[in-house]
Amino acid sequence: MIDKILMSKTGIDKSEINTIVQNTKLQTNSKAGILYYDNEKAKNIDGFYIRIETAKTGRLKLECSLNKYYNYVRTGHQTNFDIFSFTNAKTAIDLLNRRTEIDFDGLKVNYYEIGLSLPMKKDCRQYIDKMQTIGNFEERQKLFINPRYKQERLKTTVFHRDIKKVFKVYDKVFEMTDKKRKDQPPELPNILRIETTYRRVEGLTIKKLFQPATIKRLTDQFLKDWRTVQFDYDIEVPKGTHQSKKMLAVEILNKGVDTVLENASKNDAHLGKRFRGIKEFILNDWEAFKEKIILIKTNEEREFRNVVQEAVNIAKR
């Protein structure tokens, strides 16, 4: 489940620096007269990024997708569309340790992602479109479409630099296609990726991260968070209700009265009659009508919740 991770260490002595530079074939660079080493040009080949700064006390930065690195060592392809367990992640750390000879127990964790790739029955847009918020009650956060990506296939909570925990859901295969990757999954055309990102992490080391108690806490929290995703509702209404009234009721339930009135005012004001009809329904009939509504989970929501539970059960092994 732990995928992309950023680790660091300060106070590295010259002997350790020389060992890491030789083992990982880091390039020697200089900026403003200060020496540093990295593998910027080869990071896509190596499967990880290392930078060592020599100013004052030596400082190491190591960034890697553990899922991609694990698959790269096994198959030669840097992919992360499969179910990736905590045991797999620990194996990836051990592989990195042998490859670099870095003392991982002393590394601090600054950033990490916990993610799952979920094989779904339908096009991922059908799930993403219906997901609106994540979190309970006062902690509920809206899932926004990220305009940097095409076809509205990625939603995320606010990711301002002050926010330490971010949620993201996207179409994994579309992302791979958009990046023109040639190692796409052959038999799983619909893979929904969900991720929780922890940023500006404090007081956490690699050793502590992979302790059983930490893994259990992270797994439980991941499942608890993603269980709170609110999907658009489907509804049952009294027999004989016009389809337009049903659609309006669904919109009110999903977006709220104020938003529906505001949107109708902006988009339908020039139509006059339709806007007045929506306003009159909300003011005069909505309170009584909503009591007759039966809320129904959509098929997409039911499938999502079942697949997440199954995937977590596998990944926490």
Which pLDDT tens digit goes with each residue over 269-301?
555 677 888 888 898 999 999 899 998 889 999
Q: Are residues 123 and 272 in the same domain?
A: no
Mark whether 181 and 215 lie in a shared domain.
yes
Query: Do 198 and 271 lie in a common domain?
Result: no
Q: Are residues 72 and 136 in the same domain?
A: yes
Distance of CA 162 to the CA centre of its chain: 18
Let me know whether 218 and 284 are in one domain.
no
Residue 172, pLDDT > 80, answer: yes
In this structure, the answer to whether residues 190 and 205 fall within a common structural domain is yes
Interval 226-248 mean pLDDT: 90
Give the total number of structural domains in the chain. 2
Residue 59 to residue 9: CA distance in whole angstroms: 6
pLDDT at 272: 67
CA dihedral 38, 42, 46, 48 (to 10 degrees): 50
pLDDT at 7: 97
Domain that holds residue 203: 65-231+305-315
- Say what the pLDDT of residue 44 is: 86
Which residue is it, tokens 């790269």? 72
In a domain, 43, yes or no: no
Paired tokens of 271: 């139509």
> Residue 307 contacts by C-beta under 8 Å, 6 or more apart in sequence?
118, 119, 120
Percentage of residues in the chain with pLDDT exceeding 70? 97
Whether residues 180 and 207 fall in one domain: yes
Helix, strand, or coil (residue 183): coil
State pLDDT tens for residues 52-103.
Answer: 998 878 899 999 999 999 999 999 989 888 889 999 999 999 999 998 888 8
Q: How confident is the model at residue 267 (pLDDT cuts 50, 70, 90)?
A: low
